[in-house]
Amino acid sequence: MTQLMIGEGVEHVPADLEAFTNHLHGALSDSPDIVYRSIMIGRNKGVIVYIEGLADPRLVLESIHDESPLWSESTGTTDAENSYTRLQEHAISEGKVEEAHLLSLVIAALLSGNTIIYLEGMSSALLVGTENLKQRAVQEASSQSVVRGPREGFTESLRDNTSLVRRRIQNPKLRLRELTMGEESRTKVAIMFMEGKADPDVLLELHKRLEHISLESILESNYIEEMIQDQRYSPFPTVYNTERPDIIAAALLDGRIAIFVEGTPFVLVVPALFLHFFQSSEDYYQRGDFASLVRFLRYICFAIALLTPSFYIAITTFHQEMIPANLLMSLIGQREGIPFPAFIEALLMEVTFEILREAGIRLPKSIGQSVSIVGTLVIGQAAVEAGLISAAMVIVVSITAIANFALPTFNMGISVRMLRFVLMAITASFGLFGMSIALIMLALHLCNLQSMGIPYMTSFAPFRWSDQKDALLRLSRPVMNKYFGRSGKKNY
């Protein structure tokens, strides 16, 4: 992967101190947070350059000003070369020290938090790893909470995130490749996979897609997710994201590939199949029978969240003969005096609930949850008493919302929310016939989707018996070992 460099052309570091500093001033302007500190090593003049807040140059300064017989009193180029060698091999005992001959590399390293050491007469500069980025401490993942399992979550530091995974997979076959993306932001991106488990074709396809990404900035992993997904206009996600290290470790051992992005706790995983969005890390920390029950309930909740409002609209508008007589009389009594048809009634309630949900997210945490819950109860009760909404519709929308929250991944929940409105409009026009046609088209769309070249509905269509140990159900580990081999998950 070709890394983008800052600066025009390929300019070498000049063998003149004034020319070197003038180039840095010209490229970086006179920013007050960029420190230029003059130094003397032997009889060689030089400069130390670093950015306050990004770099911690104390170790470098202490090494240079150490009162030891390190520095030679001779003059000339040889002295400068010896000083560079001694700095690299003896003086700076901690951190990474590299020598750069290109000005673009020097500027890129400076902006990454390195400290630059340059001596008069040298055509290169030393890059000392002194990054001092203020990062959030490792905390519990907030978007995917579990009752039983690890509490660690990723942070905004790429190196911290990769180390959290390496702690769980202490295997020399774990590979990590880094690249720099974004013409302006120069964001560090890392690809992690297990050699021998990851599909080489999937890995090659991922590299091709990353190579074709041309963005000025990459500030979050979604920038990459949108560019590498197979179907950009499909409502279903084809790239998985998580902030839990244990999920990433399990995915890597399953033969999938993780994509880390500097500055975000959300790590991407490819390929991402339909069944992956119904699996939770907690499924593997509980007994197999309980995990299977909970997972089966998630599929039921998916159907409830997607179809319940549409089904209610269809049977109350077109197919009243399907409703038992007692229930039909109750519904008729509730809808007496309601000025809107069932579709408009459901649409008003769904839109109101979506507004309250977004308001609860944006409001301060101390009052956001209270406002969303109280607002839903108050508005629903007031709408029923005012005769605008029937009580049955409030129940339908409430059950739909609760089922939506039961899905373990947020992006699949968003897909269901979008499709729900489409299905409501179709059933309001064509009844259960239109709903059936829409579901057939939806199934065809799912079977046509791919994630990094892998069929999206793999395990179900095409059906693979070996994957059923961990698809709709999660069988117990003794059963997996006896009938499906030692692995508790499937491999690509």
Write the pLDDT tens digit of every residue in 237-257: 999 999 999 999 999 998 999
So what's the pLDDT on residue 2?
A: 35
Q: Are 13 and 32 in contact (CB under 8 A)?
A: no
Return the closest-CA partner of residue 84 out of 99, 69, 67. 99
Tokens (6 digits) for 384: 């029923």
What is the C-alpha to C-alpha distance for residues 272 and 10, in angstroms, rounded to an integer? Answer: 40
Q: Work out the angle at residue 244's Cα, subtended by the Cα atoms of residues 300 and 261, and round it to the nearest 5 degrees.
A: 120
So what's the pLDDT on residue 100?
A: 87
What is the C-alpha to C-alpha distance for residues 137 and 107, in angstroms, rounded to an integer? Answer: 29
Q: Which of helix, strand or coil describes residue 40?
A: strand
What is the C-alpha to C-alpha distance for residues 256 and 249, in angstroms, rounded to an integer? Answer: 10
What is the C-alpha to C-alpha distance for residues 158 and 265, in angstroms, rounded to an integer? Answer: 8
DSSP 8-state code for residue 198: S
Return the closest-CA partner of residue 473 out of 288, 346, 312. 288
What is the C-alpha to C-alpha distance for residues 266 and 244, in angstroms, rounded to an integer? Answer: 8
Compare 487 and 482 and report the one with higher pLDDT.
482
Mean pLDDT of the region 67-79: 46
Confidence band, pLDDT 50/70/90 cuts, at residue 416: very high
As separate numbers, helices (DSSP H) first and strands (DSSP E) second, the chain gives 15, 12
Paired strand residues for 48: 37, 117
Return the closest-CA partner of residue 106 out of 28, 214, 188, 46. 28
Mean pLDDT of the region 38-55: 82
What is the C-alpha to C-alpha distance for residues 222 and 401, in angstroms, rounded to an integer? Answer: 25
DSSP 8-state code for residue 397: H
Tokens (6 digits) for 341: 């048809």
Q: What is the DSSP string of 428-463?
A: HHHHHHHHHHHHHHHHHHHHH-EETTEETTTBBTTB
Tokens (6 digits) for 296: 């089966």
So what's the pLDDT on residue 63?
A: 65
Q: Are 257 and 200 in contact (CB under 8 A)?
A: no
Strands ordered across the beta sheet of 174-181: 174-181, 187-194, 257-261, 267-270, 240-242
What is the C-alpha to C-alpha distance for residues 69 and 57, in angstroms, rounded to an integer? Answer: 22
Tokens (6 digits) for 143: 């978007």
What is the C-alpha to C-alpha distance for residues 223 and 215, in angstroms, rounded to an integer? Answer: 9
Amino acid present at 431: G
Amino acid present at 364: P
- Kindly report, residue by residue over 198-229, the tens digit of the pLDDT: 999 999 999 999 988 888 889 999 999 999 99
Least confident of 89-93, 161-165, 450-454: 89-93
- Kindly report, residue by residue over 315-358, the tens digit of the pLDDT: 988 888 888 888 888 888 887 778 888 899 889 888 888 888 88
Torsion of CA 60, 63, 65, 68, to 10 degrees: -170
Return the closest-CA partner of residue 240 out of 310, 168, 164, 143. 143
